[in-house]
Amino acid sequence: MRVPPQPTPGFVQALRRGLGLTQRALADALQVDALTVSRWERGQVRPGRASVAALEKLRQKLVRRGVTLSA
């Protein structure tokens, strides 16, 4: 399952947790503010195209580890 063009809050949270990252660590990896990640996970805003592309790269890391996401 690829990162959808408009990832759900649950998907973003599942990806972050699958990577074992805090919101701040994910924000640092994506070069966004930690509050932005929090807002994504609460459904207040959606990630932009650049962030979706970066999330996809992180998702691919999980796939290489044999981890799948269900959210």
| Pair of tokens at residue 53 | 């592309």
What token pair was written down for 26? Answer: 């994910």
8 A C-beta contact, residue 10 and residue 1: no
pTM attached to this predicted model: 0.85
Domain ranges for the chain, please list them.
9-64
Task: Count CB atoms within 10 A of the CB of residue 4.
Answer: 11
Question: How would CATH label the architecture of 9-64?
Answer: Orthogonal Bundle (1.10)
Mind listing the pLDDT tens digit for each residue in 5-50? 789 999 999 999 999 999 999 999 999 999 999 999 999 999 999 9
Across 54-67, average pLDDT: 89
Residue reference for tokens 């990577």: 19
No. of H helices and E strands in the chain? 4, 0
